[in-house]
Structure 1
């Protein structure tokens, strides 16, 4: 891990306090990509800081964070974690199962301002459902996009100019088509199928 005085050019990435296994493993994974990305000491200025909210206190980490973007770095990415990330303006949720090349690309995209969600292989096998095969109507697709981005039924009704009963009807039909038994399952499906949007792409920042 580089010190602040000898950091080379490229994105600076800090790993907030984590296990020795993860810390040294991440350093080894990123070493072949030193021209694009490198680790700096935890707490040092960084372009992207990886934090595991199951290991560190999230509120404390947010309070101490001064610059760059934050991303969750956890073993399993849950729908609740995606929602939590969105609520706090965190740039992504990345599984610790990610291969080095995908991790580097994800970090670069987060630094560029994108929202990135990467699930573990186990989760992908459960939730993967190609968008091209989706039977959703355009209205149902709009509803699942807004659900994935954390809007309540009332917000969806306002955003789409629908009655609350119409929203509930679209939600029921959408859940049947994507085989979701809960809102959390619908969020995970939406994330895996490209419905997690940037606020500037959908205007969601002004609708909630």
Structure 2
């Protein structure tokens, strides 16, 4: 791929949605390379955000509220206990999984608003919230804990916030995440470097 000339690159960055590529590092004559160290953690985060769509579809049909403090407390407490058993800080796990839940609600509220404006939700299959969706979330929780353990040393480095920001920006571009999911992605990983 030909090298970008700096003025063209800057102009392109200004035009791109919420500066995804601009936040990533680049070098003359080469495309930016994604930092692969956090990719499995990003995959789990993106997977959980995709499930948010299924959750809000189920809630649309059943007229349930997006907020469910009782369920959220159970999820966070269970995750924190599992994380502590793997040597992670319980306080960190509470923050991290709280952020994951808040990020999911960003997606849910965004989609719900879109559907209300349209007057209908998409016509697509609806998995059962309890039987299908929650077991998937439980499996992702285990994946998250494994990745948080695997990246523990990296997350303690001083440059962790910068690495996360740059790598997640490139990840979002490579995986074609739209603006709503990018905002939610950033929210999900907002405190991942704080151990």
**What's the TM-score once normalised by structure 1's chain length?**
0.28
Task: Return the structure number with greater relative CO, CA threshold 8 A, min gap 6.
Answer: 2
Where is the helix percentage greater, Structure 1 or Structure 2?
2
Structure with the higher fraction of residues in strand conformation = 1
Q: TM-score, normalised by structure 2?
A: 0.29
